[in-house]
Chain A
Amino acid sequence: MKCHRCGLREASVHWLEMNAGERRSLWLCADCAASREQAPAASEPQVSFLGQGLGSAAAACPGCGTTLEDLRRDNRLGCARCYVTFRSTLLPLLARFHRHISHVGKVPGGVQPTTRLAEITRLRLGLTKAVAAEEFERAATLRDRLRELEDQAGPADGSAR
């Protein structure tokens, strides 16, 4: 389970607190629990913000089938496409956690991968697009080619030692 406060790290501490006679139970990560011990008792608890302000309109990610419900539960995205699907939910989260919303730094090199793995990647991406565009004939061709490639996995060349 993820921390109820930051929503990102694994929760390891069970937190019980009394607030105006009401008992509330929180699961926190070690970092949030530590900072909470310092915090004045009246400070406003911040519950998992992925769970905030989300309507019940359960749009599933076309890339992996993850729904807002899953996101709220796991605090984890299902695939790269989720970053597009749940963009409006994610941006405030990123702004809050990282204090930035866009990437600065290394970008992948210009080398075009030519491995079997890269070919599988291209087929998988093409398949997702074909399905989304309802081009079923094309999707079937891609799926066959993908199966063929994935079957050639070959022996898992064992342990290095």
Chain B
Amino acid sequence: MSGTLAALAAVDAAWLDGLGPDGDIVLATRARLARNLAGFPFPHRAGPEALATISVDLGRRLRRLPEFVDGFSVDLAACEPRSRQLLREKMLAGDDLLAVPEHRVLVAGPDLSYVALLNGEDHLRLCAWQSGFAPDTALAAALRLDDQLAGAYEPAFSQEQGFLTASPGNVGTGLRLSAVLHLPGLVMADEIDKVLNALRQLEFGVRGLAGEGRTVRGALFRIGNLTTLGRDEAEIAGDFAAHVGKVIVHERAARELLLGRDRRALEDLAWRGRAALANARLLTTHETWDCLSHARLGGGLGLVPAPDWGVFNRLLVRHQGAHLELAAGLRLDGRERSAARADLLREYFAVP
């Protein structure tokens, strides 16, 4: 299993390449479908034999699909905490999913574009990731994956409520679309709360990608639809594209506004961020989220030279603790992590 994880740690997800639509602002888009098997209680009520049957049979079936061939299969119960942390850093798993991991298996394609989780909150969750802002493509990919499993199992489905899920919050289509956005303009222009609250009114969930509690680090946000019942997949995707699309427009406007208001201050911020990434010998994780954010913003506005978005995206993942430790091949204390992080970032930002 450690070989698997070292290999997994070294893989950069294809959808971090920064080449997708609106890639300067949107890192990636994900479509997730929640499915359950008829006849089996939902995972939290199912016995070990039932869970084992599902993870073995469905896991085998999944690994044979073209999307997953030559990919990864991680038994979460056998994972040490650092490995679970790695999955979280890669955005492949959340906290909820990492608790009570018996018979829980994560299957991922070789470039992490497709991810399936067995025996999480539901028996099966299928995810398709796309680079940039691409809800339609992500949805189509997830539905195609779902189609390929027709005939593999009998889904828990009712005419009235659609695909049945453990939480009534996912019932119906079982579809959750989400995108990871970099919104420093809205944060600095102090418009972020207004925009995010408008989204919440429209039944979207919003949370920071990094940081604790109400502190969001690096101006990175994850936005996803909350309602799954009563509208078909295309309508949910259309709605998502329209409303999250507006956030992108607002972010661009906020950047222009800031530029007009005080160009010098923005230049200063971007150059300082860039300078720290290029020169610092010790970098804490908090500082790095912020420096990457400022340098990225400056790069987007043409204020400072910057690497392409793919480099930023991959570094956002790789500068985190579990990735640094697995790259170093040993345990690191806080100071050693700061040193390893600074070395990693200098590699990409130092001017030769």
Chain A residues with a Cβ under 8 A of chain B: 8-10, 13, 30-31, 34-35, 38, 63-66, 74-80, 83, 90, 93-94, 97-109, 111-118, 120-125, 128, 150, 153-154, 156-161
Contact = CB atoms under 8 A, between A and B. Distances in A.
A114 to B, nearest CB: 7
Contacts of A161: 3-4, 7, 70-73
A114 B231 contact: no
Contacts of B167: 8, 75-77
B268 interface: no
Contacts of B20: none
A66 B169 contact: no
A5 B72 CA distance: 38
Contacts of B55: 156
Q: Which 4 A-B pairs have the closest CB atoms?
A: A100-B230, A103-B162, A124-B39, A105-B232
B348 interface: no
Interface residues of B, number: 81
B299 interface: no
Given A103-B229, A108-B155, A117-B58, A8 B168 contact: yes
B227 A107 contact: no
A78 B41 contact: yes
Interface of B: 1, 3-4, 7, 36-42, 44-45, 49, 52-61, 63, 68-75, 96, 107, 121, 143, 146-147, 150-169, 171-173, 175, 196-197, 200, 203, 205-207, 213-214, 226-233, 235
9 contacts: A77-B42, A77-B165, A80-B164, A98-B171, A100-B172, A103-B162, A105-B162, A105-B232, A150-B53
Given A80-B164, A121-B153, A105 B54 contact: no
Nearest to B40: A124
Contact of A115 (B49, B151, B228): B151
Contacts of B168: 8, 75, 77, 90, 93-94, 97
B227 A97 contact: yes
A116 B53 CA distance: 10
A9 B159 contact: no
Contacts of B38: 80, 121, 125
Contacts of A64: 41-42, 45
A121 B40 contact: yes
Nearest to B109: A160
B72 to A, nearest CB: 6
A38 B235 CA distance: 29
Contacts of A94: 161, 168, 171, 229
Nearest to A33: B214
Contacts of B39: 120-125, 128
Given A108-B150, A161-B73, A98 B229 contact: yes
B230 A113 contact: no
B261 to A, nearest CB: 26
Given A75-B167, A116-B57, A160-B68, A121 B232 contact: no
A120 B54 CA distance: 10
A118 B154 contact: yes
A112 B151 contact: yes
A31 B200 contact: yes
Contacts of B171: 83, 94, 98, 103
A31 B166 contact: no
B45 A78 contact: yes
Contacts of A74: 44
Given A77-B166, A114-B151, A160-B68, 6 more contacts: A75-B167, A79-B45, A99-B203, A100-B227, A103-B163, A121-B154
